[in-house]
Structures are given as structure tokens and as C-alpha cells.
Structure 1
């Protein structure tokens, strides 16, 4: 069972994923977090937390292929997000 601090961190990241500021980002990042967050390692949580600091417009550009993630954001978690396919509930 994860440590209490780890559970709090995951809940905080899940909340941030579902409350981004644009409906599109909420749906994509929230659904991605629902699917993957529970299984993330500590290093993946760090990478995802850094990803959430990124502007929604930049993430959208990566998702649509307009631009590629910069080197510091080209992580396993970012690649997982880019491969993720949103499925409406």
C-alpha cells in the first residue's frame, strides 16, 4: 500500500489534471490521470507533476503534432500522454 503522503500527492495530481482551465485539457489530462496515475512510480510522478506545470496551449500543440515537446519535457510520461487516446465515458 502506498504511503499516506504518496496517496495525497496522487490525489492532488488527479485534481490538477481534471481542473486545467480548458475543457479539452481537463478531459485529456483527467482521463489520462485516471488511467495511469495509480501505477506511476515516484520518478513518473515527478515527471507528470512537471508536465502539469506546462501551459495547456503547449500541451495541445504536442498532442496535435504542431510542435514536439522540448528536451526537458521529452519524458516517458509525455510519450505515454502523446500515445493516449481519449475515450468518452
Structure 2
């Protein structure tokens, strides 16, 4: 089983998915990946993938702490990654 770190295709796919329609999201996510991609665990990648499944505006609201995770994304590892994104 390939992990995120061992598979260049997975890393490229995550970076591609991080490109967003809202410039603010794009900047925050790109800076975060530039600084932390090499240290992301598979759990971190799962959390980021769940966040990237959101539309741009709800994602920005979460990153800017206007809202908190609810429903399917209200998980400890998603909250932990979101905390790191908010500091980026």
C-alpha cells in the first residue's frame, strides 16, 4: 500500500486539488503545502482531502474560523489540520 509521501502521483493530485477558485483559498492552501507537505501524515492528507471536498466559500469560512466543522467533517484529525491551516 502506497502512502501519500511515497507516491508522487498522490502528492501531485493533492496539490492540484488545492488550487481553488477563490484566490484566498488558493494562497492559503498553497503556502501551507509549500511549508508542510513533506511532513503530512496519511491522516493529515485524509483531513485535507475532506476539506477540499467542500465548496470554496464554506472552506474559506472554516479556514478563517468563521465557522467550525460540522457533520461528516467534524473529526479530531480534521480539526487538528484545520488548526494548522489557520496558523499558516
- Return the TM-score normalized by structure 1: 0.72
Aligned match of 1:21: 21
Q: How many residues align?
A: 82
Unpaired segments ≥5 residues, structure 1: none
CA distance in 2 between partners of 1:79 and 1:43 (Å):
10
CA distance in 1 between partners of 2:8 and 2:41 (Å):
12
> What SS does the aligned partner of 1:80 have?
helix
CA distance in 1 between partners of 2:80 and 2:13 (Å):
22
CA distance in 1 between partners of 2:22 and 2:78 (Å):
21
Q: CA deviation at 1:77?
A: 4.2
Aligned match of 1:37: 37
Change (3 A) 1:71 1:36: farther
CA distance in 2 between partners of 1:13 and 1:45 (Å):
8
Alignment root-mean-square deviation, CA: 2.1
Change (3 A) 1:78 1:33: farther
Q: CA deviation at 1:52?
A: 0.8
Unpaired segments ≥5 residues, structure 2: none
Higher relative contact order (CA 8 A, sep 6+): 2
